[in-house]
Structure 1
Amino acid sequence: MKSLETRLAKLALKGDQRAFAEIVDLYKDKLYHLAYRMVGNRQEAEDVTQEAFLRVYKNLDRYDQNQKFSTWIYRIATNLCIDRLRKRRAVYSLDAESSDHEGLDGYSMLPSDDRTPESELILSETQRLIREAMDTLPVKYKSVMVLRYLQDMSLQEISDVLDMPVTTVKTRVHRGREFLRKKLENKL
Structure 2
Amino acid sequence: MEKQHDSYVAEFVQNGHDKSFQIIAEHWYPAIYRFAYSYFGNRDDASEIAQKTLIKVYQNIRSLKEVGSFKSWIYRIANNLCLDELKRAGRRKSESLSLIPKELKLSELTPVTEIESKELNSLIHQALNRLPEEVRAVVILKQFEEMTFSEIGDTLQIPEGTAKTRMYKGLDLLGSILKQWNIETDYLNYD
Global fold match (TM > 0.5) = yes
Q: Is the 8 A contact 1:40 1:135 kept in 2?
A: no
1:175 to 169, 178, 184: 169
The match for 2:18 is: 17
Question: Offset of 1:10 from its aligned partner?
Answer: 2.4
1:35-66, Cα deviation, whole Å (9 max, x unpaired): 11122211111111111111111111111235
Q: How far, CA to CA, are the matches of 1:125 and 1:36 in structure 2?
A: 16
1:53 aligns with 2:58: no
How far does residue 125 in structure 1 lie from its aligned partner after superposition? 4.0
Output the CA distance in 2 between the equivalents of 1:163 and 1:128.
30
Tell whether the 8 Å contact from 1:145 to 1:176 is kept in structure 2 after alignment: yes
Q: Larger radius of gyration, structure 1 or 2?
A: 1
- Residue 129 of structure 2 is aligned with which of 135, 139, 149? 135
Moved over 4 A (4+): 117-120
What is aligned with 1:126?
Answer: 120
- d(CA) in 1 for partners of 2:118, 2:51: 31
1:76-134 alpha-carbon deviations (Å, 9 max, x no partner): 1111112222333xx359xxxxxxxxxxxxxxx933669xx958525254333222211
Tell me whether 1:79 sits opposite 2:80 in the alignment: yes
Q: Tell me the residue number matched to 2:95.
A: 111
- On the 8 A contact 1:85/1:139 being kept in 2, the answer is no
Whole-Å Cα distance in 2 between the matches of residues 171 and 150 of structure 1? 18
Q: Which amino acid aligns with 1:156?
A: S
Percent identical among aligned pairs is: 30
**Aligned partners of 2:125 and 2:91: how far apart in 1?**
20
Mapped to 2, the partners of 1:131 and 1:144 lie a distance apart of 15
Deviates more, 1:127-136 or 1:17-26: 127-136
